Structure 1
Protein backbone atom coordinates (compact mmCIF):
# COMPACT_ATOMS: atom_id res chain seq x y z
CA UNK A 1 0.00 0.00 0.00
CA UNK A 2 2.97 2.31 -0.01
CA UNK A 3 2.40 3.15 -3.66
CA UNK A 4 1.00 6.48 -4.68
CA UNK A 5 -1.14 6.76 -7.77
CA UNK A 6 -2.65 10.06 -8.84
CA UNK A 7 -4.25 11.73 -5.84
CA UNK A 8 -4.05 8.68 -3.59
CA UNK A 9 -1.96 9.30 -0.51
CA UNK A 10 -1.17 7.09 2.40
CA UNK A 11 -3.03 7.58 5.66
CA UNK A 12 -2.36 5.90 8.98
CA UNK A 13 -5.54 5.51 11.02
CA UNK A 14 -6.52 4.24 14.45
CA UNK A 15 -9.49 1.88 14.31
CA UNK A 16 -11.83 2.04 17.28
CA UNK A 17 -15.11 0.48 18.35
CA UNK A 18 -18.47 2.12 19.05
CA UNK A 19 -21.34 -0.27 19.63
CA UNK A 20 -21.08 -2.97 16.93
CA UNK A 21 -19.28 -0.79 14.42
CA UNK A 22 -15.65 0.03 13.71
CA UNK A 23 -14.62 3.63 13.06
CA UNK A 24 -11.28 5.18 12.21
CA UNK A 25 -9.56 8.49 12.76
CA UNK A 26 -6.26 9.74 11.33
CA UNK A 27 -3.42 8.93 13.71
CA UNK A 28 -1.70 12.29 13.04
CA UNK A 29 -4.14 14.03 15.36
CA UNK A 30 -4.21 11.43 18.14
CA UNK A 31 -1.99 12.59 20.99
CA UNK A 32 -2.54 9.47 23.09
CA UNK A 33 -4.90 6.63 23.91
CA UNK A 34 -5.75 6.53 27.60
CA UNK A 35 -7.58 4.10 29.84
CA UNK A 36 -10.80 5.47 31.30
CA UNK A 37 -10.01 7.78 34.19
CA UNK A 38 -11.66 10.24 36.55
CA UNK A 39 -13.56 12.95 34.73
CA UNK A 40 -14.83 16.02 36.59
CA UNK A 41 -18.39 17.00 35.64
CA UNK A 42 -19.07 20.53 34.52
CA UNK A 43 -22.56 21.96 35.06
CA UNK A 44 -24.71 23.20 32.20
CA UNK A 45 -22.85 21.69 29.27
CA UNK A 46 -24.24 19.48 26.52
CA UNK A 47 -25.14 15.97 27.70
CA UNK A 48 -22.44 14.32 25.56
CA UNK A 49 -19.70 16.37 27.27
CA UNK A 50 -19.12 14.34 30.39
CA UNK A 51 -16.64 16.81 31.85
CA UNK A 52 -12.91 17.51 31.90
CA UNK A 53 -9.85 15.49 32.84
CA UNK A 54 -6.41 16.55 33.99
CA UNK A 55 -4.03 14.79 31.62
CA UNK A 56 -0.42 15.46 32.50
CA UNK A 57 -1.26 18.98 33.65
CA UNK A 58 -3.51 19.83 30.70
CA UNK A 59 -7.24 20.26 31.36
CA UNK A 60 -8.98 18.48 28.49
CA UNK A 61 -12.74 18.35 27.72
CA UNK A 62 -14.06 14.80 27.38
CA UNK A 63 -16.88 13.81 25.02
CA UNK A 64 -18.73 10.50 25.14
CA UNK A 65 -18.82 9.66 21.42
CA UNK A 66 -21.77 7.25 21.92
CA UNK A 67 -23.84 10.11 23.36
CA UNK A 68 -22.62 12.54 20.68
CA UNK A 69 -23.76 10.20 17.93
CA UNK A 70 -27.07 9.34 19.61
CA UNK A 71 -26.18 5.70 20.32
CA UNK A 72 -27.43 3.96 23.47
CA UNK A 73 -25.19 4.35 26.48
CA UNK A 74 -22.97 1.57 27.78
CA UNK A 75 -21.16 1.26 31.09
CA UNK A 76 -17.43 1.92 30.85
CA UNK A 77 -15.30 -1.20 31.21
CA UNK A 78 -11.71 -2.44 30.86
CA UNK A 79 -11.82 -1.97 27.07
CA UNK A 80 -13.08 1.64 27.23
CA UNK A 81 -10.52 4.15 25.99
CA UNK A 82 -10.17 7.90 25.68
CA UNK A 83 -8.66 9.03 22.39
CA UNK A 84 -6.96 12.35 23.10
CA UNK A 85 -7.06 14.40 19.91
CA UNK A 86 -5.37 17.66 19.04
CA UNK A 87 -5.83 19.78 15.95
CA UNK A 88 -5.75 23.54 15.33
CA UNK A 89 -5.04 24.24 19.03
CA UNK A 90 -8.15 22.29 20.10
CA UNK A 91 -7.58 19.35 22.43
CA UNK A 92 -10.40 16.93 23.15
CA UNK A 93 -10.84 13.47 24.63
CA UNK A 94 -13.27 11.10 22.91
CA UNK A 95 -14.57 8.13 24.88
CA UNK A 96 -14.84 5.02 22.71
CA UNK A 97 -15.70 1.40 23.48
CA UNK A 98 -12.23 0.22 22.52
CA UNK A 99 -9.25 1.10 20.35
CA UNK A 100 -8.51 -1.86 18.10
CA UNK A 101 -5.44 -1.18 16.00
CA UNK A 102 -3.49 1.10 13.70
CA UNK A 103 -3.62 0.41 9.97
CA UNK A 104 -2.47 2.01 6.73
CA UNK A 105 -4.95 2.98 4.04
CA UNK A 106 -4.80 5.19 0.96
CA UNK A 107 -7.25 7.95 0.16
CA UNK A 108 -8.30 5.80 -2.79
CA UNK A 109 -9.63 3.23 -0.29
CA UNK A 110 -12.17 5.76 1.03
CA UNK A 111 -15.63 5.40 -0.50
CA UNK A 112 -18.58 7.78 -0.08
CA UNK A 113 -20.65 7.33 3.08
CA UNK A 114 -23.82 5.28 2.49
CA UNK A 115 -27.19 6.95 3.15
CA UNK A 116 -27.81 4.98 6.37
CA UNK A 117 -24.89 4.55 8.78
CA UNK A 118 -26.16 3.27 12.11
CA UNK A 119 -27.63 6.60 13.25
CA UNK A 120 -24.39 8.62 13.18
CA UNK A 121 -24.95 12.00 11.56
CA UNK A 122 -23.50 11.87 8.06
CA UNK A 123 -21.76 15.24 8.42
CA UNK A 124 -19.37 13.69 10.97
CA UNK A 125 -18.28 11.00 8.52
CA UNK A 126 -15.64 11.25 5.83
CA UNK A 127 -16.41 7.94 4.16
CA UNK A 128 -16.16 4.19 4.55
CA UNK A 129 -13.16 1.96 4.00
CA UNK A 130 -13.28 -1.69 2.97
CA UNK A 131 -10.15 -3.71 3.65
CA UNK A 132 -10.34 -7.43 3.06
CA UNK A 133 -13.11 -8.67 5.40
CA UNK A 134 -13.36 -5.40 7.40
CA UNK A 135 -15.53 -2.37 6.89
CA UNK A 136 -15.08 0.77 8.95
CA UNK A 137 -16.19 4.38 8.87
CA UNK A 138 -13.67 7.21 8.74
CA UNK A 139 -14.60 10.18 10.93
CA UNK A 140 -14.41 13.74 9.64
CA UNK A 141 -12.15 15.04 12.39
CA UNK A 142 -12.52 18.69 11.33
CA UNK A 143 -16.29 18.47 11.79
CA UNK A 144 -16.07 16.56 15.09
CA UNK A 145 -13.59 19.03 16.60
CA UNK A 146 -14.99 22.27 15.21
CA UNK A 147 -18.69 21.63 15.77
CA UNK A 148 -19.67 24.03 18.54
CA UNK A 149 -22.06 21.49 20.05
CA UNK A 150 -19.28 18.90 20.34
CA UNK A 151 -16.97 21.13 22.31
CA UNK A 152 -19.78 22.79 24.22
CA UNK A 153 -19.19 26.38 23.16
Structure 2
Protein backbone atom coordinates (compact mmCIF):
# COMPACT_ATOMS: atom_id res chain seq x y z
CA UNK A 1 0.00 0.00 0.00
CA UNK A 2 1.30 3.42 -0.94
CA UNK A 3 1.90 5.97 1.78
CA UNK A 4 1.38 9.62 0.89
CA UNK A 5 3.38 12.67 1.85
CA UNK A 6 6.41 11.06 3.48
CA UNK A 7 9.19 13.49 4.37
CA UNK A 8 11.92 13.56 1.69
CA UNK A 9 14.42 12.03 4.15
CA UNK A 10 12.29 8.88 4.57
CA UNK A 11 13.35 6.13 2.17
CA UNK A 12 10.50 3.84 3.11
CA UNK A 13 9.03 1.65 5.80
CA UNK A 14 9.99 -1.65 7.36
CA UNK A 15 8.13 -4.00 9.62
CA UNK A 16 9.91 -5.45 12.63
CA UNK A 17 8.08 -7.63 15.15
CA UNK A 18 4.77 -6.18 14.02
CA UNK A 19 5.91 -2.57 14.36
CA UNK A 20 6.00 -0.26 11.33
CA UNK A 21 9.29 1.65 11.36
CA UNK A 22 10.14 4.60 9.13
CA UNK A 23 13.58 4.29 7.53
CA UNK A 24 15.55 7.44 6.78
CA UNK A 25 18.11 7.70 3.99
CA UNK A 26 21.41 9.00 5.38
CA UNK A 27 22.55 9.89 1.86
CA UNK A 28 19.67 12.36 1.49
CA UNK A 29 20.20 13.69 5.01
CA UNK A 30 23.97 14.22 4.73
CA UNK A 31 24.58 14.78 1.01
CA UNK A 32 21.22 15.58 -0.57
CA UNK A 33 21.13 12.43 -2.71
CA UNK A 34 19.80 8.93 -1.99
CA UNK A 35 22.11 6.04 -1.19
CA UNK A 36 22.42 3.18 -3.65
CA UNK A 37 20.91 0.09 -2.03
CA UNK A 38 22.96 -3.09 -2.47
CA UNK A 39 24.11 -6.18 -0.55
CA UNK A 40 26.26 -4.11 1.83
CA UNK A 41 23.43 -1.72 2.76
CA UNK A 42 22.21 -1.95 6.33
CA UNK A 43 19.51 -0.38 8.47
CA UNK A 44 20.61 0.85 11.89
CA UNK A 45 17.81 1.14 14.44
CA UNK A 46 17.53 3.95 16.96
CA UNK A 47 14.95 4.70 19.61
CA UNK A 48 14.00 8.35 19.45
CA UNK A 49 11.46 9.74 21.90
CA UNK A 50 10.02 6.29 22.48
CA UNK A 51 9.71 5.29 18.83
CA UNK A 52 11.93 3.16 16.61
CA UNK A 53 13.47 4.80 13.56
CA UNK A 54 15.74 3.15 11.00
CA UNK A 55 18.68 4.75 9.22
CA UNK A 56 19.75 3.31 5.89
CA UNK A 57 23.56 3.28 5.65
CA UNK A 58 25.84 2.08 2.86
CA UNK A 59 27.59 -0.42 5.16
CA UNK A 60 28.08 -1.36 8.79
CA UNK A 61 31.01 -3.55 9.64
CA UNK A 62 30.77 -4.14 13.35
CA UNK A 63 29.08 -3.34 16.63
CA UNK A 64 31.61 -2.13 19.16
CA UNK A 65 31.53 -1.02 22.78
CA UNK A 66 32.90 2.45 23.40
CA UNK A 67 33.71 3.97 26.76
CA UNK A 68 32.75 7.62 27.23
CA UNK A 69 36.37 8.38 28.09
CA UNK A 70 37.39 7.29 24.55
CA UNK A 71 35.23 9.90 22.83
CA UNK A 72 37.15 13.02 21.85
CA UNK A 73 35.57 16.29 20.71
CA UNK A 74 34.80 16.50 17.00
CA UNK A 75 35.52 19.75 15.18
CA UNK A 76 34.87 20.11 11.48
CA UNK A 77 33.34 22.98 9.61
CA UNK A 78 30.75 21.24 7.42
CA UNK A 79 26.98 21.18 7.35
CA UNK A 80 26.96 17.54 8.46
CA UNK A 81 29.24 18.16 11.46
CA UNK A 82 26.31 19.41 13.56
CA UNK A 83 25.09 15.78 13.77
CA UNK A 84 28.32 14.42 15.25
CA UNK A 85 29.29 14.86 18.88
CA UNK A 86 32.63 13.12 19.00
CA UNK A 87 35.21 10.88 17.43
CA UNK A 88 36.91 7.68 18.57
CA UNK A 89 40.16 6.31 17.18
CA UNK A 90 40.35 2.53 16.90
CA UNK A 91 42.95 0.51 15.00
CA UNK A 92 44.09 3.64 13.13
CA UNK A 93 40.51 4.39 12.04
CA UNK A 94 38.41 7.39 13.00
CA UNK A 95 34.85 6.56 14.08
CA UNK A 96 32.43 9.48 14.17
CA UNK A 97 29.81 9.45 16.90
CA UNK A 98 26.36 10.43 15.61
CA UNK A 99 23.86 12.20 17.83
CA UNK A 100 20.62 10.47 16.75
CA UNK A 101 18.46 13.11 18.43
CA UNK A 102 19.96 15.88 16.28
CA UNK A 103 20.32 13.75 13.16
CA UNK A 104 16.86 12.19 13.11
CA UNK A 105 15.21 15.06 14.95
CA UNK A 106 15.51 17.27 11.89
CA UNK A 107 13.01 15.15 9.93
CA UNK A 108 9.81 17.13 9.77
CA UNK A 109 6.92 15.65 11.78
CA UNK A 110 8.88 12.46 12.53
CA UNK A 111 7.20 12.17 15.93
CA UNK A 112 3.76 12.10 14.26
CA UNK A 113 4.75 9.68 11.50
CA UNK A 114 4.14 6.31 13.30
CA UNK A 115 0.55 7.22 14.23
CA UNK A 116 -0.15 8.48 10.71
CA UNK A 117 1.37 5.32 9.20
CA UNK A 118 -0.75 3.05 11.37
CA UNK A 119 -3.84 4.95 10.28
CA UNK A 120 -2.96 4.92 6.56
CA UNK A 121 -1.84 1.28 6.53
CA UNK A 122 -4.91 0.00 8.44
Q: TM-score, normalised by structure 1?
A: 0.62
* Residue ranges of structure 2 left out of the alignment (5+ in a row): 113-122
**Aligned pair 1:42/2:3, yes or no?**
yes
SS at match of 1:66: helix
SS at match of 1:142: helix
Question: What does 1:94-105 align with in structure 2 at a 5 Å threshold?
Answer: 94-105=55-66
Among 123, 134, 138, the alignment partner of 2:93 is 134
CA distance in 2, matches of 1:103, 1:147: 26
**Aligned pair 1:60/2:36, yes or no?**
no
How many residues are paired up? Answer: 112
Provide runs of 4+ in structure 1 moved above 6 Å.
none
SS at match of 2:31: coil
> More strand per residue: 1 or 2?
1
Q: Which one has more relative contact order, counting CA pairs under 8 Å at least 6 apart?
A: 1
> More helix per residue: 1 or 2?
2
Question: What does 1:7-86 align with in structure 2 at a 5 Å threshold?
Answer: 42-70=3-31, 72-86=33-47
